[in-house]
């Protein structure tokens, strides 16, 4: 994922509402969300190049999502895929605290990442850049390619848009996909400097990215209600702006 917005224990009806965009090169092959043949309890998309995922959930209600930490100066050429971390967690059956204790022993092998993991009752944030595990408190949060709630324009404006969307329950699903589809480029003075040059900082500042070679490939909206029913909708996009989407609905055991 490259943008993750979520309202945690803000709404009594929906204690978790999560909205996310995955941005990637169009030539990188992927599969949309589905239950994996070799791990039938896991629902996730799949990166066919390295075999991992950017967001996944299992039938016990544990889920995880990962974003890259953007710093090209520190990239390791032969690092393992960060996408395997999500699958390892969902297969492990461990608590987030226990899983992160083990992950810390090898976290430096990976390129920089941010990880949201847990379940409706306990949600955590971890980054291998600072190495600390943080319990997420109720509220509206945002994550892109820095740290949790780093005030990049797409994060700050996205959090405000999500807060507004929660006020209109009748049109909330459409409004949330609408805020994920926003292509507004941030003003130059508000852009971060992450070492990729001004042109790419501009391109990547939009919530929904459109570029001939790189862009938003999929959007996910997930609701977990007070009875722990889960509804996930994924919409996938092509360079020609065509989209395909499906609703995936199931209940935690």
- How does pLDDT run across 46-70, given as a tens digit for each residue? 999 999 999 999 999 999 999 999 9
Alpha-helical segments (H) within 104-250: 153-165, 172-180, 198-204
Decide: 85 and 52 in contact? Cβ < 8 Å: yes
Bigger pLDDT: 243 vs 220: 220
How far apart CA 103 and CA 110 sit, in angstroms, is 10
3-class state of residue 78 by DSSP: coil
User: Is residue 170 over pLDDT 60?
Assistant: yes
What confidence tens digit (pLDDT) does each residue in 22-35 have?
A: 999 999 999 999 99
User: Is residue 244 over pLDDT 70?
Assistant: no
pTM for this one? 0.94
Q: H or E element: which one contains 222?
A: strand 214-224
User: Is residue 107 over pLDDT 60?
Assistant: yes
How far apart CA 210 and CA 222 sit, in angstroms, is 23
How far apart CA 198 and CA 81 sit, in angstroms, is 27
- The sign of the torsion formed by the CA atoms of 11, 14, 16, 18 equals negative
CB neighbour class for 76 (10 Å; exposed up to 12, middle 13-18, buried from 19): exposed
When pLDDT is averaged across residues 75-82 and rounded to a whole number, the result is: 94
Neighbouring CB atoms inside 10 A of 135's CB total 11
Give the domain ranges of the chain. Answer: 3-251
**Cα 129 from chain centroid (whole Å):** 18
Q: Alpha-carbon dihedral of residues 28, 162, 243, 153, nearest 10 degrees?
A: -50
Say yes or no: domain 3-251 is CATH 3.30.420.590: no
Pick from 135, 138, 195: which is nearest to 9 by CA?
138
In sequence order, which residues have a C-beta less than 8 Å from that of residue 234 and are 6 or more positions away?
Answer: 32, 33, 45, 218, 219, 220, 245, 246, 248
* pLDDT at site 245: 61
Please count the residues of the chain: 253
User: Is residue 184 over pLDDT 70?
Assistant: yes
* pLDDT at site 203: 97
* pLDDT at site 248: 62
């Amino acid at each position: 994922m490259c943008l993750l917005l979520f309202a945690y224990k803000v709404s009594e009806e929906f204690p978790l509402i999560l909205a996310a965009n995955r941005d990637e090169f169009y030539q990188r092959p992927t599969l949309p969300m589905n239950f994996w043949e070799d791990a039938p309890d896991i629902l996730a998309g799949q990166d066919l190049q390295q075999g991992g995922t950017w967001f996944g959930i299992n039938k016990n209600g544990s889920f995880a999502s990962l974003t890259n930490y953007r710093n090209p100066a520190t990239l390791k050429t032969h690092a393992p895929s960060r996408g395997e971390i999500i699958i390892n967690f969902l297969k492990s059956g461990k608590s987030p605290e226990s899983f992160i204790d083990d992950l810390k022993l090898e976290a430096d092998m990976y390129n920089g990442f941010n990880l949201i993991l847990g379940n409706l009752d306990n949600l955590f944030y971890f980054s291998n850049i600072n190495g600390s595990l943080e319990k997420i408190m109720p509220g509206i949060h945002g994550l892109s390619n820095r740290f949790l709630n780093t005030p990049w324009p797409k994060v700050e404006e996205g959090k405000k848009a999500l807060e507004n969307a929660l006020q209109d329950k009748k049109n909330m699903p459409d409004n949330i996909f609408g805020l994920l589809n926003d292509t507004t480029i941030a003003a130059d003075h508000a852009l971060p400097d992450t070492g990729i040059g001004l042109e790419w900082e501009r391109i990547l500042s939009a919530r929904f990215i459109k570029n001939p070679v790189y862009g938003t490939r999929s959007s996910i909206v997930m609701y977990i209600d007070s009875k722990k029913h889960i509804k996930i909708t994924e919409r996938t996009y092509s360079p020609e702006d065509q989209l395909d989407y499906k609703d995936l609905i199931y209940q935690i055991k």
